[in-house]
Amino acid sequence: MVRIDLLRIKMFFTYLLYFLKNSLNLTSFYYMKRILIPTDFSEFATYALEFAAFFAQRSGGSLCMVTVLRNKKESTYQEAEKKLEELSKLNMLKHVKVESVIKVGDSIRDEILDAATEFKADLIIMGSNGASLIGEILLGSNTEKVIRKSNFSVLTIKHQIITHRLDSIVFASDFNDKNNKAFKTVRKLAQLFNAKIYLLKINTPTRFEPTRLSLEKINAFIKAQQLDTFLKDKYEIALYADSTEELGILNYCIENEIDLISLATHGKTAIWKLFNESTSQNLVNHSFRPVLTVKN
């Protein structure tokens, strides 16, 4: 009996120390509070702004809208100021603290990242048209450049999100790196929204892995990340087979009504493969989920 009680006491203090270290860390309370929204005033920028407003309301955060001009011509500058002012008065931003910035420069990517640094952004939320030549800032290539060169977490919105919610998050990985640093960001986001994380491993004909081995890797990952339902971590292991990893992620998320896809990036990223697959496979617009990319 005494040995059992001592074991319980040890387990209690282990969980308590972990809770104090992770859940009561001040950075957790202020996580993703400052959100930067690049805009070119297009419909794609509006989609991102809508989601950012939802995000800020749930997290108690503030937004900074930034637009980039090629030159500081007075008429162009005044027009940008007027448009930013109109956006700030939209009803969806009624209960959100909003500020706006106009940057001038030739490199859209650099100006966006400078604005993010000056604003001390925790997150950049960007729209992307993926392919067409509408707008200046939110061309697919510019969004991709920000993702590749940024040390910030970037949440990309390609289509209008019909229902704003964040109850489920897919973390897609091969789980070879059990100490994946990017996952800590995903976990904090899940805790913020009380969302469930789906640890997703895609099997393909060209990159086949036995189920036993995949489960061993994921369980080692869970142990290394110290995921525990006792600490209110909500997670589930998910194995899925498809012709490509990108299609596997998309199809799994559609079939299971996942709200957000998260990926760790290493400079070059698979996010554009996801976008291209969604277009080439004629997936309906509202089925494409927001994608969060986090530098590992």
When pLDDT is averaged across residues 274-296 and rounded to a whole number, the result is 58
- Assess if residue 73 is contained within a domain: yes
Same domain (yes/no): 138, 177? no
- Assess if residue 36 is contained within a domain: yes
| Residue 97: strand pairing partners | 62
- Helix H or strand E encompassing 66: strand 62-69
Structure tokens at 225: 């990340």
What pLDDT sits at residue 133? Answer: 30
Among 122-131, 157-166, 176-185, top mean pLDDT goes to 176-185
Same domain (yes/no): 213, 114? no
Which of 124, 157, 190 corresponds to the end of one domain? 157
Give me the helices (H) in 194-240, please. Answer: 211-225
Structural domain count of the chain: 3
Same domain (yes/no): 173, 277? yes
Q: Which domain holds residue 11?
A: 1-30
CB neighbourhood size of 6 (10 A) = 10
Structure tokens at 212: 């036993």
- The CATH number of residue 107's host domain is 3.40.50.620
Q: CA distances (Å), 112 to each of 45, 66, 101, 221, in order?
A: 14, 7, 10, 34
When pLDDT is averaged across residues 71-80 and rounded to a whole number, the result is 89
- Assess if residue 195 is contained within a domain: yes
Same domain (yes/no): 143, 175? no
Alpha-carbon span 40 to 139, nearest angstrom:
10
Structure tokens at 152: 């910030």
Q: Would you say 123 and 87 are in contact if contact means Cβ atoms under 8 Å apart?
A: no
What pLDDT sits at residue 148? Answer: 62
Alpha-carbon span 227 to 231, nearest angstrom:
8
pLDDT digits (tens, 9 = 90+) for 2-55: 455 655 655 555 555 555 444 434 334 346 789 999 998 888 888 899 999 999
Same domain (yes/no): 75, 183? no
Question: Is the per-residue pLDDT at 271 higher than 70?
Answer: no
What pLDDT sits at residue 141? Answer: 54
Which of 117, 138, 157 corresponds to the end of one domain? 157
When pLDDT is averaged across residues 235-259 and rounded to a whole number, the result is 91
The DSSP-derived string for 130-148 is TTS--SSTT-HHHHHHHHH
More confident of the two residues 106 and 7: 106
Same domain (yes/no): 41, 11? no
Question: Is the per-residue pLDDT at 167 higher than 90?
Answer: yes
Same domain (yes/no): 129, 195? no
Same domain (yes/no): 290, 228? yes
What pLDDT sits at residue 169? Answer: 95
Q: How are beta strands 153-157 and 123-127 bridged, if at all?
A: parallel
More confident of the two residues 131 and 18: 18
Same domain (yes/no): 24, 49? no
Kindly report which listed range (63-67, 133-137, 171-175, 278-282) carries the lowest average pLDDT score: 133-137
pLDDT, the chain, mean: 79
Give the residue among 236, 238, 295 at the shortest CA–CA distance from 263: 295
Same domain (yes/no): 36, 89? yes
Alpha-carbon span 79 to 81, nearest angstrom:
5
| Cα–Cα–Cα angle for 229, 235, 236, rounded to 5 degrees | 125
- Helix H or strand E encompassing 278: helix 271-280
Single-letter code of the amino acid located at 215: L
pTM above 0.95, yes or no: no
Among 178-182, 190-194, 226-230, 272-276, top mean pLDDT goes to 190-194
Question: Is the per-residue pLDDT at 137 higher than 50?
Answer: no
Same domain (yes/no): 209, 288? yes
pLDDT digits (tens, 9 = 90+) for 178-221: 878 889 889 989 988 899 999 999 998 988 899 999 999 999 99
What pLDDT sits at residue 11? Answer: 57
